Amino acid sequence: MSILKRIFFSIPFLICFIIFNNYLSIFLENTNNILSLNLTVYLQTLYLALFLILSGFFLIIFITLAEKWFLVIPVITIASVSSFLSYTPPIVYIMLIGSIISFLIIYITLLNKLKTYLSFSPTIILVPSIKHLVILLILISSISFYLIESSRIKANGFTIPTSILNQELNLVNSQLNQGVGQNNLNSIPQISAQNLQILKNNPQALKQFGINPDIINNFIQNGAVNINTQSVPQSFTKNLIENQMNAFIRPYLKFIAPVLTLLFFLTLTSFTSLLELLLTPLVGTCFWILEKIHFTSYQIEMREVKKLIT
C-alpha cells in the first residue's frame, strides 16, 4: 500500500480532533452549563460527543492502514500539540499529556491485535479500540473539568444556572396561581414602608430566611406593597429562590466540583454510548467501500490447524 493511502485518514482525524477540542474548550468556559436546561447546551454536548466519536473512528482506521510507528507517532503528536489552539495553561498540559498517553495506549494495543488476528473482521477488531479511546479521552476531559470547576468555586463560589432559576420561578408562580384564589390574595394585608424599613435595618434576620437585604429596596421605593403574585416583582421572587438554594448548598460546597465532574462524565458517556450504536455499521460500511474502490485489498491464506482429539 502506498504512503498516501496509509496516511489518508490522518487528515480527517486531525480535523475532527481539533473541532472536538474547540467544542470542549467552549464547554469548559462555563462549567455550570452541565446543569443547564437550555437546548443549545444539549446540542453543544451532542456535537462534542459526535466529534469525539469521529476522532476515534478516523484514528483507528488510520492506525490500521498505517501500522508503522514512523507514520503514526508524528500524527498523534501533531494532534496532541493542537491542544494549544484551544486551551490555556494548565489545562492545555493536561490535555496534551493525556492525549499522547491515550493515543499511545490505543496504538500499542491495536497493533498487537493486527499482528495476532486469524481473519480480518473490522467490526470485531476495531470497534472495541474506538470505544476504549473514547473512554480515555472522556476521562482526560473530566480531569480538566474538575480542575477548572474546583478552582472556579474557590475563587468565585458556586452560582446556580439561570435556566434552573427560571424553571423554579415558573414552577412557583404556577403553583401560587393555581393554589390561591384571587379573593384570598386581595384579603392579604399590606406591608407598610415603615415595616419594610425595619426589615432593611435588620439584615441578619433576613439572611436567616435566605433573603438578600438589597431586594427590600424594590419595595421601599413604592412605599407599600401587597404580598401577592401580581404585585411582587419577578426579581424579588427570583432572588429569594436563588438565596434559598445557595443557602441549602453552602454546607456542601466542597462536594460541588466532584459531583459536577461526575455529572459531566456520565452525560458525555451517555451521549457517546448512543452514538456508538452506529460504529459497527459505520466501520463495516467503510471497509466495504474501501475494498470496492480498490483502496484496500485482502489476501486469503490457507493455514494448518492443530486440534485435540478426545
| Alpha carbon distance, N-terminus to C-terminus of the chain | 44
Q: Dihedral of CA 17/21/22/27: which sign?
A: positive
The answer to pTM > 0.85 is no
For residue 239, the model assigns a pLDDT of 63
C-alpha closest to that of 286 among 8, 51, 4, 1: 8
Q: What is the pLDDT of residue 217?
A: 60
**List of the chain residues with pLDDT < 50:** 180-189, 222-232
Residue 38: its pLDDT value, please?
74
- Grid cell in block for residue 174: 404556577
Instruction: Give the three cell numbers for residue 89.
Output: 495553561
**How far apart (Å, rounded) are the C-alpha atoms in residues 85 and 92?**
9
Sorted by where each begins, the domain ranges of the chain are 3-160+253-292, 163-251
The pLDDT of residue 34: 78
Q: Between helices 69-81 and 10-29, what is the axis angle to 10°?
A: 20
- pLDDT for res 29: 85
pLDDT one-digit tens code per residue, 212-240? 566 566 555 544 444 444 444 555 555 66
Q: Within 68-220, where are the H helices?
A: 69-81, 91-116, 122-156, 162-179, 182-186, 193-200, 203-208, 217-220
User: What pLDDT does 228 receive?
Assistant: 44
Q: What is the pLDDT of residues 294-303, one digit of tens each?
A: 898 888 877 7
Contact (Cβ atoms closer than 8 angstroms) between residue 256 and residue 158: yes
